[in-house]
Structure 1
Amino acid sequence: MRVVVGLLLLLLALCGSGAQGEGGGLGQVGEISEFQETAPRDAAEESAESTTKQTTPDIWAEVRALRDMVVELKVFVQLLQRENSDLQTRLSSSESELLLSKCRIDQLERENAVQATDLTSLGTRLTATESKSSDLEKENAVQATDLISLGTRLTATESKTSDLEKENADLQTRLSSSESELLLSKSRIDQLERENADLQTRLSSSESELLLSKSRIDQLERENADHETRLTATESKSSDLEKETADLQTRLSSSESELLLSKSRIDQLERENAERPKVAFYTALTDAGHVGPYSTDITLKYSKVFTNIGNAYNPATGFFTAPVKGVYYLQFSVCSNRTGYMGVYVYKNNQLIMFNDEGKEEVGLEYLTKSVVLELKAGDEIYLVLPSDYSLYDSPHNHNTFSGSLLFTL
């Protein structure tokens, strides 16, 4: 812009100077003509006239040259003006695109903020779910540890029983060996007795043989003494073996008693687990679409029953009846796609336990989910009631549900 303004100022100056030059030239020409008509001509004047005639064409040539320059400058100015207009148009277009880009950037920043908020919410829900899963895993780990410990003790008892059986078999083998040695000793004694009888017979028949027999008898007596000593040691060893066997039998009986107690406890736990009542149900409201609004409160009958272990839920009445005294976990979800209010009352017998509702300002599916943990006696009834002027919506997608289960008995 500064260059354009400078060029315009230069053109204006040139145009002014050209106009002045042209006026001056014309005035000089007029004066020369008048002078030629009135004054007498002499030689000097004639020389001046010839000089003026020579100068006048040069001035007009300069004027024409200046005019040509002015025309060219005007053309150049027009070109510069057109280029300036084009630049302004492009600048306006660029500014419009820049504004659109800023609007788009602001919109993207708002969308990113909304997405960041949703991501934070999802992260919070995921953290809660992971925490709950971690608690369940810890409980399962404790139960698995107890079961493994019980299996380890049972395996150790079986291994100990097997070792005792092996030791008893070894003792029986050693006892059989000792009995065999004892039989051999008795047979040897019988043989010695027979030999002694033969010696006595020979002693009676011959005195010479008597001396030999006495020597032989002495030797036999020494051998018999050795056998008796060995027999005494064998009997003592047999007695020790009998004591060890009795001790092992006592320990085996004790192990068998512990094993029987363990089996009895396991059977008792299995019976208790089998006899423990099992209660769980899951239902949905209807496939008919809109439910309500009504002029009075109505009890909701969840007609689609998917799970009803223990048959504690009655779809004909919409009532869940506690079969045993215990702690129960109950959950319900509410959905509507109309403007207005949606929500339900939760009743225990005739006592209001909970009321949750929400106002809707736009058409579209919207959900509300709640849960309760209640201590119920056998025969207590839980049911949901739709308030007057409230509406719900359900379909085969099961938007409105009612479910629960027995946590433990009391």
Structure 2
Amino acid sequence: MELRALRDMVVELNVHMELLQRENSDLQTRLSSSESELLISRFRIDQLERENAVQATELTSLGTRLTATESKTSDLEKENADLQTRLSSSESRIDQLETENADLQTRLSSSESELLISRFRIDQLETENADLQTRLSSSESELLTSKSRIDQLERENAEKPKVAFYTALTDAGQLGPYNTDITLKYSKVFTNIGNAYNPSTGFFTAPVKGVYYLQFTVFGCSAGHIGVRVYKNNQRIMHNWEHNNNDYFPEYFTNSLVLELTAGDEIHLVLPSGHSIYDNSDNYSTFSGSLLFTL
């Protein structure tokens, strides 16, 4: 604003100087053409000179002011150049900041996108976690129920009798044939849980009412008949036999039974008259059984 005002003052002074120059030129013309009028107009000239002196003084003052103005203008121009430099630096910094801001906007958009994805994944994981918690609670409840059932079954199983036996006949080799039926006494006892089998008599006695699984294997290596009969309480319930025509080729067979027995029922095997059976340390002929479940 000060620079503009100074410029306006300079323009005004220039205009004023031009006016003075035109007046002076006119005076010179009038002086040349009218020397006679010069004498008459000395008073006027003196007056003009005084005015001119005043104007010269004013002009000098204006020159001084103009010089000061020019100095101030120079200072202002320097300041303006400095401001331009600073403005250029600011504009450069602004461009840099705009570039950084654009980069930040891009990164922010990317971060916001990643944040949305993360939030979606978090929601998904929270949903999955809630589902897993529900399933875990259900599993824990089922596990408690299962443990309770297992404990109950273990108590029930502990209360149930355990019956299982496995025996072999003899180490003496061949038995029979005889002229009469004989009870087979399986003297080699390998398993006798519950002590339900008596090797002295060859009898298995059911300790409780239940369903029992019984199995026997009969082996023979001489010509003739091999076989056994199964008795329940001295009542024959099965007869198995095989005929061997060759002394050099042994014969054997295996059979099994599932019987419902009451406490005290007895099972034993009989070698029929005219039949033989063979056993030795290899335990070819065996008799075994176990309690499947009580009734």
TM-score (norm 2): 0.51
The answer on 1:393 being equivalent to 2:278 is yes
Closer, same or farther in 2 for the Cα pair 1:347/1:154, shift >3 Å?
farther
Q: 1:156 aligns with which of 137, 145, 149?
A: 137
Give the equivalent residue in structure 1 for 2:267.
382
Q: Partner of 2:185 in structure 1?
A: 301
Alpha-carbon displacement from aligned partner over 1:91-129 (angstroms, at most 9, x marks no partner) = xxxxxxxxxxxxxxxxxxxxxxxxxxxxxxxxxxxxxxx
- Which residue of the other structure, out of 253, 270, 273, is the alignment partner of 1:368? 253
User: Percent identity among equivalent residues?
Assistant: 72
- One-letter identity of the residue aligned with 1:270: E
Amino acid of the structure 2 residue aligned with 1:382: I
Secondary structure, counterpart of 2:236 in structure 1: strand
SS across alignment from 2:275: coil
CA contact (8 A) 2:244 2:250 kept: no
Which residue of structure 2 lines up, in the alignment, with residue 124 of structure 1?
A: none
- Residue of 185, 188, 200 corresponding to 1:316: 200
Describe the shift of the 1:266–1:390 C-alpha distance in structure 2 as closer, same or farther (beyond 3 A): closer
CA contact (8 A) 1:294 1:389 kept: yes
Shift of 1:266: 4.1
| Cα gap change, 1:299 to 1:155, in 2 (>3 Å) | farther
Equivalence map 1:67-146=2 (5 Å): none
Shift of 1:265: 4.3
How far residue 259 of structure 1 moved from its aligned partner, in angstroms, is 9.1
- Call closer, same or farther: CA 1:343–1:153 in 2, change over 3 Å: farther
> Residues 154, 293 of structure 1: CA spacing in aligned structure 2 closer, same or farther, 3 A cutoff?
farther
Q: CA deviation at 1:268?
A: 2.2
Determine which structure has greater relative contact order: mean sequence separation of CA pairs < 8 Å that are 6+ residues apart, divided by chain length. 2
Q: 2:218 aligns with which of 330, 334, 343?
A: 334
Q: Distance in 1 between matches of 2:190 and 2:229?
A: 23
Unaligned runs of 5+ in 1: 1-151, 160-254
Decide whether the 8 Å contact of 2:242 with 2:251 is kept in 1.
no
Deviation at residue 269 of structure 1 after TM alignment:
2.3
CA contact (8 A) 1:154 1:259 kept: no
Shift of 1:267: 2.9
Aligned equivalents of 1:408, 1:154: Cα separation in 2 = 36
Q: Give 3-state SS (helix, strand or coil) of 1:283's partner.
A: strand
Q: Which structure has the bigger radius of gyration?
A: 2
Task: Work out the CA distance in 1 between the residues paired with 2:241 and 2:143.
Answer: 59
Note the alpha carbon deviations across 1:379-405, whole angstroms, 9 max, x for none: 100000001111111111111100111
Please identify which structure carries the higher helix content: 1
Residue aligned with 2:283, SS: coil
SS class of match (2:288): strand
Q: Alpha-carbon deviations, 1:144-171, whole Å to 9, x = none?
A: xxxxxxxx99952687xxxxxxxxxxxx
Find out whether 1:272 has 2:253 as its counterpart. Answer: no
Q: Runs of 5+ in structure 2 lacking a partner?
A: 1-132
Specify which of 281, 284, 288 is matched with residue 403 of structure 1. Answer: 288
May I ask how many residue pairs the two structures share in their alignment? 162
Q: Over the residues paired in the alignment, what is the CA RMSD in angstroms? A: 2.5
Change (3 A) 1:265 1:360: closer
Distance 1:355 1:263 in 2: 47
- Report the equivalent of 2:125: none
Distance 1:341 1:153 in 2: 69
Which letter does structure 2 place at the counterpart of 1:376? L
For residue 204 of structure 2, give the secondary structure of its aligned residue in structure 1. Answer: strand
CA distance, structure 2, for counterparts of residue 371 and residue 153 of structure 1: 50
CA 262–335 in structure 1, closer or farther in 2 if over 3 Å, else same = closer
CA distance in 1, matches of 2:135, 2:186: 49
Separation in structure 2 between the aligned mates of residue 281 and residue 299 of structure 1, nearest angstrom: 18
- Structural mapping, 1:228-239, within 5 Å: none
Of Structure 1 and Structure 2, which has the larger fraction of its residues in strand? Answer: 2
The one of 215, 230, 251 equivalent to 1:346 is: 230
Deviation string for 1:254-301 (max 9, x for gaps)? x8xx99877654432221122122111110000001111111110000
Is 1:291 the counterpart of 2:175 in the alignment? yes
TM-score (norm 1): 0.37
